[in-house]
Structure 1
Amino acid sequence: MVSTTTRFSDTQNHWASLFIEALSKRRILNGYADGTFRPNNPVNRAEFAAIIAAVFNLSVKRQYINFTDIPANFWAAGAIKKAYETGFLSGFPDKTFRPGNQISRGDVLVSLVNGLEMSSKIQPDLLDRLPQIYQDAASIPGYGRNQIAIATSAGLVASFPNTKLLNFGNAATRGDVAAIIYQALVYLGQAEKIPSAYLVVPPTSTSTVRVSHTREFRGAWITTVWNSDWPSKAGLSTTQQQEELVAILTRLQQLNFNAVILQVRPEGDALYASELEPWSAWLTGTQGKAPEPFYDPLQFAIAEAHKRNLEVHAWFNPYRAKTTIKSGSNVRPHIAVTNPEVVYQWGNQLWMDPGIKIVQDRAYNVIIDVVRRYDIDAVHLDDYFYPYPIQGQSFPDNKTYAAYKSAGGQLSLNDWRRQNVDQMVLRLSQGIKATKPDVKFGISPFGIYRPGQPPGITGLDAYSVLYADAKKWLEQGWVDYLAPQLYWRTDQTQQSYPVLLKWWTEINSQQRHIYAGNNLGQLDGKAWKSEEIEKQVKISRNQAADLSLGNIFFSVGSIIENRQDISDTFQNSLYNRPALVPTMPWRSTTALPPPKELQVNNRRLSWQPGDNQPVRSWTLYRQSDANWTLQRVLSAGTTFATVQPGTYAVCAVDRLGNESQGVVISVS
């Protein structure tokens, strides 16, 4: 045992007293004539050389050079020569040693690692973890980073009063040097350990492995207009609405889906608390009326979806103002009430004029407001831009176009309309990224761009009728993903699912993601059976090398009712294993640090986040021979898992799907 008897009058209650006493007994450290040790006094380079020479008796590694400021009769000349020859200390480029200069705490540690040749026995494995160990790791100079990592692993570092601060550049005190030198002796096996709260305990050495799995976007549209999917009818109580939504999200989680596309602005209204637009009538039965008791459906949906590892893509209709004029009425601040001159009747619907600035600003401001205030994962637009045509009618924007022409506009009517939509898409793309760089932007256009593209394809011309130039948006990289609505069977040659999907992937010069849209509403057990959907998903997967990376299904109601056993198909074959969404390298490739403090107790794994950055989810892999298989995706708040015997790896996942290295643990 180390004696606690104090021989110096000023070290009785000092944090380093036990280290000082132990080295004093070995005649390595001495006090002053007045009986003090002065533990808080700084140590200069000559004094440190003297301590090194007294403690370590190592062979010569290099020939001494005569320093211009160390005369032969200097009191520490012999110690400096020995410290230099054994590799502990060096001089400066001007051939001086500068013996009176104070030595920093970091340089004390660097000196010991170099002189004791610790790098031959200890790898700097903690290099990447220094920011987690020391709050001031960024101030460690480049020349000392490896040595500090090694010194930390070896248990050399003592730091008072806060072990989370290395204080590399601070002058080393006599107390600091005593503790660090003593720890070097412990490392060498020449001293017994002294317990101290001010020793930095190196993190438990953990092995990590790079693991991965096949990513796939697995989404479902949740349609709110007409109460198609949710809520099942207008006017349900808050509790009923919430229970319905939780049941939908829970079922999707059970089926290993990883995203929902939730319609939040079906007709110039809001399924969330907004100062810009009125509450949706599809919630309460009356436009402008909030749920009672009050809750925010979008906020609720995000919280419940994220608990279940489901992304939330907020789905907006930018221009539709009312789905039918035969029921209900619009109220302030609906745009049809505040600015009726920019809204036109189109059949039984009301439609905003995409060429008018008020409409453009309204759509942009509404969407950016949601991006700013809610933790959504993406903004999503569908195929409704200019409205679908009505036989014998023209969209009544002639006054708007005439104003454009009279102001000097040169574009034809069709090109001008496309430009209006293009500008909206570009403005949103830029605005979303500027507001929250980690919020994605996707559009689900009509599945046919133009008849004849590719050859043999016939159908509606979205380019010239809806004025949607989705090819341009993809080629310009304005979107992060495109989800063309490929709502036809694989054997319909004029609207061929595989041919159209291949065409969309081939025009993707910016290497964005393609998620095919699939129509479950067609399932009737006759022309459309679940086998057709299974075939379509497999076709999508076969083109994964061309960035066909998933599917979105219209809509969730068919999944919940298990139409034509489609849910069973997902559960038993298509989605029988979990998967994360594909990463988007043009957004970010920086992964989180791996989890820390991974341990097992009675087959129950537990861990903690590697740092304070937000985690979206955790992935749990199991090793089988040389392969790692994804077992589970766990929500951010679930830092434990009960497992069977085996070898496992746990990874941290950020909101963009980037996955950390896996920390490995064996369970017996």
Structure 2
Amino acid sequence: MTEMNSDMYCHFSILILLASIQTQIGNCEDSVWSPREFRGVWVATVANIDWPTSRYHNTDQQKTELLTILDKAKELHFNAIVFQVRPAGDALYNSTIEPWSEYLTGRQGRVPSPYYDPLQFAVEEGHKRGIEVHTWFNPYRARSANTSSADLASNHMAKRFPNYAYIYGKDIWMDPGAKVVQDQAYNVIMDVVNRYDIDGVHFDDYFYPYPISGHDFPDTHTYHEYTTGGGHLSLADWRRENVDTLIHRIYNGIKVAKKIVKFGISPFGIWRPDNPPGIHGFDSYSSLYADSKKWLQEGWVDYLVPQLYWKIDPPQQSFTALLDWWIQQSKQHRHVYAGMFAGNTLLKHWALTEIGNQITESRARSGRLSLGDIQFSMKYFRDNSVGISDYFKQNLYQNPALCPEMSWLTTDLPSVPNPSNLTITGHMMIWNKDNSGVIFLWSLYEKRADVWDLVALLDKDTVTHKVASNGEYAIRGVDRANRESNPAVVHITDAGGSVIVG
């Protein structure tokens, strides 16, 4: 929209129907509202992939970098970041359970100086920009890369539970079959859910570690404890049950604590080879012991993001064939978002149109629960690698979008701006602040032809917005489940009259 020339002063007046909301919205019901789409981007902290760019940067530098990420996400109309807060039994937030991450301060256990809490900062600043913050945890990885356990802080889980901490390749991995390890992951996650105003909890594809040829995962003694205690499952089934138990427990725990906090997982994109027929590749069911199809079918997640890091055309790992298969598994109508590797445009020299075509294909399936995507990872958009940010802005995410509604996360119906207090002053629309605690965002629409286009997402504490021209506008309250209230609709004209919509 183009802002009016300040020299062209116009007197605005407004008449708002004060009867019922239904009368108030009138012919809005006959119009089309902008579509919903989850637009996420992973922000990886492990090995300082995306943020902070150096573990030796000071607090002000780290804050500036994080604000740059959030501003870029808003500019490109992303509506969520997936922020890695526990890469390896550590914390990029203030925890009494686990040590501060070395990726943040250069040494595990060292407090940021000057002190700040990166997660609290990310949540507050993300929400100001209408961006959801999903916290990304790695449940079992205890150490990434070739570093000895001597560098671990004294309260690190590998130090606390050394009998269940195994050096496997260049990493240290905790035993998913140990109850204390499961409890640690659960307690860490619930601590964050209870103390921070986050929007989601997120796991990636790391469960049992990716296998190393000739080296089995060394959990023989834990499995022996299970069988001597009367267990009858095979080793493989027992491992899958260990992961299933934690997934189900975390989902239930989140819903008891804060039902509106979403739980999502981004598993390896192939559940098992030949699913669907003709697909070849890594078997995550038998190698990572991740029965991701079961989690989706049982409704133990609110959304699943299979990592579909392949092109559309090759039949052995076809993006579209796999996406269709995953959609078919959502028996509980949970959302499926396509995990996409934006970095392949740089690393594998994919054409930008490949990512564009994948988003187009996903959107074509929106009626069948393909409701968005998450891109890996933020640095490619921050740096505009091979022009990818420009491409998204011009061709894919030209306008803002609300996240899809999750109907099973029942909350109170959002309120609508009080019509008796919705006014126009100069070029500014002004309404009452929400005091119910229900509103997460305000969505502002402009009617163009017969379509209500979303033009802005506003922070819940915002009560003003400058309009750019005469026309019909609608303001709707949005809650944490992404449900919108009925709209308060106004028709703004020059001096000479106002129009009641409806």
The AA in structure 2 aligned to 1:614 is: V
Displacement of 1:603 after TM fit?
2.1
Q: Does 1:398 align with 2:223?
A: no
Counterpart residue number, 2:391: 569
Counterpart residue number, 1:312: 133
Displacement of 1:375 after TM fit?
0.4
The AA in structure 2 aligned to 1:623 is: K
Q: Is the 8 A contact 2:433 2:461 kept in 1?
A: no
**Cα distance in 2 for residues equivalent to 1:556 and 1:506:** 29
Q: Does 1:217 align with 2:38?
A: yes
Select the residue among 457, 461, 474 that pairs with 1:633.
457
The more displaced of 623-632 and 300-309 is: 623-632
Counterpart residue number, 2:366: 544
Select the residue among 76, 89, 94 that pairs with 1:273.
94
Asked which structure has the greater CA Rg, the reply is 1
Q: Deviations over 1:527-584 (max 9, x none)?
A: 4121111011111111111100000000000111111211011111100011000000
Q: Does 1:286 align with 2:107?
A: yes
Q: Deviations over 1:1-36 (max 9, x none)?
A: xxxxxxxxxxxxxxxxxxxxxxxxxxxxxxxxxxxx
**Cα distance in 2 for residues equivalent to 1:635 and 1:529:** 36
Give the root-mean-square deviation of aligned CA atoms.
1.7
Q: Does 1:421 align with 2:246?
A: no
TM-score w.r.t. length of structure 2: 0.91
Q: Deviations over 1:446-489 (max 9, x none)?
A: 00000010111011100000000000000000000000000011
Displacement of 1:339 after TM fit?
1.4
The more displaced of 215-224 and 629-638 is: 629-638
Counterpart residue number, 1:512: 334
**Cα distance in 2 for residues equivalent to 1:563 and 1:257:** 17
**Cα distance in 2 for residues equivalent to 1:615 and 1:297:** 24
Q: Secondary structure at the match of 2:405?
A: coil
Counterpart residue number, 2:427: 603
The AA in structure 1 aligned to 2:63 is: Q
Percentage identity across paired residues of the two chains: 49
The more displaced of 644-653 and 311-320 is: 644-653
Q: Secondary structure at the match of 2:443?
A: strand
Displacement of 1:124 after TM fit?
10
Query: Which stretches in structure 2 are left out of the alignment for 5+ residues?
Result: 1-16, 494-502
Q: Deviations over 1:399-457 (max 9, x none)?
A: 00011000000100000000000000000010000111111100000000000101110
The more displaced of 640-649 and 296-305 is: 640-649
For 1:184-333, list aligned pairs within 5 A.
Answer: 207=25, 209=28, 212-326=33-147, 329-333=151-155
Q: Does 1:655 align with 2:477?
A: no
Q: Is the 8 A contact 1:249 1:305 kept in 2?
A: yes
Q: Is the 8 A contact 1:268 1:319 kept in 2?
A: yes
Q: Does 1:533 align with 2:355?
A: yes
Displacement of 1:631 after TM fit?
1.4
Displacement of 1:598 after TM fit?
1.3
The more displaced of 657-666 and 273-282 is: 657-666
Counterpart residue number, 2:182: 360
Q: Secondary structure at the match of 1:368?
A: helix
Q: Secondary structure at the match of 1:628?
A: strand
Q: Is the 8 A contact 1:371 1:432 kept in 2?
A: yes
Displacement of 1:526 after TM fit?
6.4
Q: Secondary structure at the match of 1:538?
A: helix
The AA in structure 2 aligned to 1:301 is: A
Q: Secondary structure at the match of 2:296?
A: helix
Q: Is the 8 A contact 1:257 1:310 kept in 2?
A: yes
The more displaced of 555-564 and 280-289 is: 555-564
Q: Is the 8 A contact 2:434 2:461 kept in 1?
A: no
- Number of aligned residue pairs: give it: 470
Q: Secondary structure at the match of 1:260?
A: strand
Counterpart residue number, 1:120: none
Q: Does 1:351 align with 2:199?
A: no
Q: Does 1:615 align with 2:436?
A: no
Q: Does 1:588 align with 2:413?
A: no
TM-score w.r.t. length of structure 1: 0.69
Q: Secondary structure at the match of 2:215?
A: coil
Select the residue among 442, 449, 454 that pairs with 2:271.
449
Larger relative contact order, structure 1 or 2 (CA cutoff 8 Å, min sep 6): 2
The AA in structure 1 aligned to 2:366 is: A
Q: Secondary structure at the match of 1:451?
A: coil
Q: Is the 8 A contact 2:336 2:369 kept in 1?
A: yes
Compared with structure 1, are the counterparts of its residues 441 and 526 closer, same or farther at alpha carbon in structure 2 (3 Å cutoff)? closer
Q: Is the 8 A contact 2:305 2:339 kept in 1?
A: yes
**Cα distance in 1 for residues equivalent to 2:317 and 2:451:** 40
Q: Is the 8 A contact 1:618 1:633 kept in 2?
A: yes
